Amino acid sequence: MALGDGTKSVSDTAAGLKMENLYMAEVYSLPQLGWRHYFQQQLTMEELESYTIARVVGQERGEVQLQTRLGRLLLPHSPSIPAMIVGDWLLLETEGRFVRLLERFSLLSRKAAGSRVTTQLIAANIDSLFIVSSMNQDFNLNRLERYLSLAHESGIEPVILLTKPDLCEDPQSYLKQAEALGPLLQTLAVNSLEVDSVQQLEPWCSTGNTVAFLGSSGVGKSSLINTLLGNQQQHTQGVRNDDDKGRHTTTNRSLHPLASGGVLLDTPGMRELQLTDCEDGVEETFSDIVGLASCCRFSDCRHQSEPGCAVREAITTGTVTERRLKSYTKLMREQALNKATLAEKRAADRKFGRYIRSVINSKRRE
């Protein structure tokens, strides 16, 4: 079912209507939607009895799409409701009024695209991250390391999916390069259009597990989701012939519960993924370099031409590539810079807030 189809807006309904009256079919149990003990323990017995539990499954022009045990409904955005993102869990009153957002166990965010330095939320309460790349001009090790850093920072298990093996002359060479990014990293070649091939993903699609698909446009995120769902819920579209780039077909994030369990999150293709405040995630992604750096003669070694540099030694012997060292240095610098700019911006916002309050107060006094 396409998001929003057949659902009614809460604001369209007469006040006092019971929630049961608002919903259309499409019924899933709470565990099928990803509900678990972590959320249950945030509720009192009274809350459990009197409120309806809902998960954010989509967002569109001023409305949040929610899935409950009984079906779907729309919640209009309002300034009194906190910022929510796909994957969030919340409580609703019987009439559909917002009560409270539940604490998240994981949160994916990045620096918003463009020159503005603000944080953009991507998704909440994600268990596994499928980092999707096709085996063509889209394939880029530096970019994969960005996605891996994001996953590690959020404590989410990453899996690299390399798509379009059927259109590639040497899939093994791509697989080998991706596998070299980490000894424990799961890397799979998968044809998004073939049921047999997509079956490899079943271990991550078990009941209650929420899996986010991230990657550039045209790599096959929506195609993978359609094959897993067994229908064409998500629109897909061919890539440009000259450079394999996609056409940004998916424009909204949406959650798709599988009948067999598991919840899939489709996302629009990302043009860029800039990290912010991801030091731990970057260090985990580059644990080989971090480990070697601890053996350098100087504790502030920059791994350029210092004597006794264990990282340079590893580059000479071929254990680490120059590319990987550059990628590590770049990501560390980028996340620190974005973090500092964000902190400055927040401080400026706070100062501005204080100024506004003082003006209002002095006007009141007058």
Ligand X SMILES: Nc1nc2c(ncn2[C@@H]2O[C@H](COP(=O)(O)OP(=O)(O)OP(=O)(O)O)[C@@H](O)[C@H]2O)c(=O)[nH]1
| Chain residues that interact with Mg ion, rule: CB under 5 A | 221-222, 249-250
Q: Which does 276 bind (CB under 5 to 8 A by kind): Mg ion, Zn ion, ligand X, none?
A: none
Residue 96 sits in the site that holds ligand X (CB under 6 A)? no
Pick from 122, 181, 219, 255 the residue near ligand X by CB under 6 A.
Answer: 219
| Binding to ligand X in span 251-310, by CB under 6 A | 268-269
CB of 312 vs Zn ion, minimal distance in Å: 6
329: part of which helix (H) or strand (E)?
helix 322-365
Q: Which does 238 bind (CB under 5 to 8 A by kind): Mg ion, ligand X, Zn ion, none?
A: ligand X
CB of 177 vs ligand X, minimal distance in Å: 18
CB of 240 vs ligand X, minimal distance in Å: 10
Residue 248 sits in the site that holds ligand X (CB under 6 A)? yes
> Which residues are 256's β-sheet partners?
264
Nearest-angstrom CA–CA distance, 339 and 321: 27
Q: Phi/psi zone of residue 36: left (φ > 0), alpha (ψ -120 to 50 degrees), beta?
A: beta
Length, in residues, of the chain: 366
Q: Which does 166 bind (CB under 5 to 8 A by kind): Mg ion, ligand X, Zn ion, none?
A: ligand X
Nearest-angstrom CA–CA distance, 53 and 38: 14
| Binding to ligand X in span 187-206, by CB under 6 A | 191-193
Nearer to Mg ion, 59 or 222 (CB): 222
Residue 68 sits in the site that holds ligand X (CB under 6 A)? no
The residues, ordered by sequence, that sit 6+ positions from 279 with a Cβ below 8 Å of its Cβ are 332, 335, 336
Q: What is the largest CA-CA distance in the chain?
A: 78
What the block records as the tokens of 131 is 């980092």
Neighbours of 117 (CB within 10 A): 17
63: part of which helix (H) or strand (E)?
strand 63-68
Q: Which does 52 bind (CB under 5 to 8 A by kind): ligand X, Zn ion, Mg ion, none?
A: none
Contact indicator for 254, 86 with CB cutoff of 8 Å: yes
Nearest-angstrom CA–CA distance, 208 and 34: 4
Q: Looking at residue 222, what DSSP letter applies?
A: H
- Residue 131 has φ and ψ, to the nearest 5°, of -90, 110
Give the x/- contact pattern for ligand X in 137-166, rule: CB under 6 A.
--------------------------xx-x
| Binding to Zn ion in span 302-341, by CB under 5 A | 303, 309, 311
Q: Which does 296 bind (CB under 5 to 8 A by kind): ligand X, Mg ion, Zn ion, none?
A: Zn ion
Q: Which residues bind ligand X (CB under 6 A)?
A: 163-164, 166-167, 191-193, 217-223, 236-239, 246-250, 268-269
